[in-house]
Structure 1
Amino acid sequence: MSEQLEIEFKNMLTASEYQKLLLYFQAKEKSFFFQENHYYDTIHEDLKHLRCGLRIRIMPNSAELTLKTPLGDHLLETTDPLSLKTAKELISKNSILQTGAVAKKLQSLKVDPDSVQLIGSLKTKRFEKETKDGLFVLDHSFYGEQTDFELEFETHDADSGEQIFNRFLEVHHLMKRPSKNKIVRMLEAFSLNSPITD
């Protein structure tokens, strides 16, 4: 189990901007990896109303169950690691772990872990570049027939991180485009009401 404060800045990209940044970071095909996000909420959208997000993420060699809860201007991530086998079994059963840090956190929010169900999924082709300033991420996400491109910057300091991110946008002549969280975009793609956090 881990808990960490998520400080990140995001910006939507056009396809050509995305390609330009891949060239800037000298991205090689072997540097990319795919991940799947499977999102959960209750039938009454309790997590949406609490401004929380719950997902199982499947990566090439691991998986995790993560609950994101508001903490000031940012989000607190509570995560339980999962084996790939367990993650896939939970998804197929339309459920999450009933024990662990995430379940305990849900209970503290008065949300029964047994009451959540799968509300949608998406797949992302991801490129990451660690720098002295923080982690830059380029995402190409797929929501059924829809696709989009996004730049993320993860850092440990909100104030300096925002300055670095804004400067990066300026240097690369990238228009500022507010980025909705992936769960919101996924649900909008399927014409559903959407929770707030990714």
Structure 2
Amino acid sequence: MNQLEIEYKTLLNKAEYIRLLEIFSDTEPVIQTNYYIDTPHLDMKKHRFSLRIRLLPDAGELTLKCPQDVGNMEYNQFLSLEETKDLLETFQLPKGHIHDLVTATQIPISQLQIWGQLTTKRYEKEVSFGLMALDENSYNGKRDYELEVEVKDAEEGKISFDFFLKKHSVKFKYASSKVARAAASLKSAK
């Protein structure tokens, strides 16, 4: 499944996160762990690509994100739980559309390896302007909170997201991607 991902997000402090939990009180959280993949020479990053395996309670997903003028093109390859666990033990990029896209870039596929992970407790629900997620993230001894929304229309989505933040007294705080935060936490730990 391929889709254009347009999302807006903000980091939250713990008090804002707890306050927003009330909005998601009718949803059950899902625990998911993202495992990030690149070569030792950061070839994926140099192409501005992001490659991850997402482990869910009963399945997995391989995702490649490629930047577009607006948003990211997201390519997903669904995996069984067994396939996911095998990939996590000995990573080899499985055959399929993602493999073909990465191969076309001259990135040395044999050098791809898992370099980091981030676990999210996610509450998700449809709102009038998109799919909203409230996340508590844990990685490398750190914890952070964020609110994000995936929208279909970039302009309307931005206006609606800003209005939502104002209505709920949430001050916008820039949130880099989860993969970037996980990478930065590894650098700061050295």
> If the length of structure 1 is used for normalisation, what is the TM-score?
0.91
Structure 1 distance, partners of 2:110, 2:13, is: 40
- 1:72 equivalent in alignment to 2:69: yes
Tell me how far 1:171 sits from its aligned partner.
Answer: 0.6
Q: Which residue of 1 aligns with 2:9?
A: 10
Provide, for residues 110-144 of structure 1, a one-character-per-residue CA deviation record: whole Å limited to 9, x for no partner: 22332211110111100001123211100001013
Structure 2 distance, partners of 1:170, 1:42, is: 41
Structure 1 distance, partners of 2:179, 2:146, is: 13
Q: Which residue of 2 aligns with 1:142?
A: 138
CA contact (8 A) 2:24 2:124 kept: no
Tell me how far 1:79 sits from its aligned partner.
Answer: 1.1
SS at match of 1:7: strand
1:116 aligns with one of 94, 112, 126: 112
Tell me how far 1:27 sits from its aligned partner.
Answer: 4.4
Runs of 4+ in 1 over 3 A off after TM superposition: none
Structure 2 distance, partners of 1:112, 1:77, is: 21
Q: Which residue of 1 aligns with 2:161?
A: 165
Structure 1 distance, partners of 2:9, 2:90, is: 33
Aligned CA-pair RMSD: 1.5
Tell me how far 1:176 sits from its aligned partner.
Answer: 1.0
Structure 2 distance, partners of 1:80, 1:9, is: 24
2:45 aligns with one of 39, 45, 48: 48
CA contact (8 A) 2:24 2:125 kept: yes
CA contact (8 A) 1:27 1:127 kept: no
Instruction: Point out where structure 1 has 5 or more consecutive residues left out of the alignment.
Output: 193-198
Q: Which residue of 1 aligns with 2:124?
A: 128
Structure 1 distance, partners of 2:29, 2:103, is: 36
Tell me how far 1:78 sits from its aligned partner.
Answer: 0.9
Instruction: Point out where structure 2 has 5 or more consecutive residues left out of the alignment.
Output: none
CA contact (8 A) 2:24 2:123 kept: no
CA contact (8 A) 2:102 2:109 kept: yes
> If the length of structure 2 is used for normalisation, what is the TM-score?
0.94
- 1:183 equivalent in alignment to 2:179: yes
SS at match of 1:190: helix
Tell me how far 1:33 sits from its aligned partner.
Answer: 1.1
Paired residues in the alignment total: 189
Read off the aligned partner of 1:93 and give its amino acid letter: T
Read off the aligned partner of 2:93 and give its amino acid letter: I
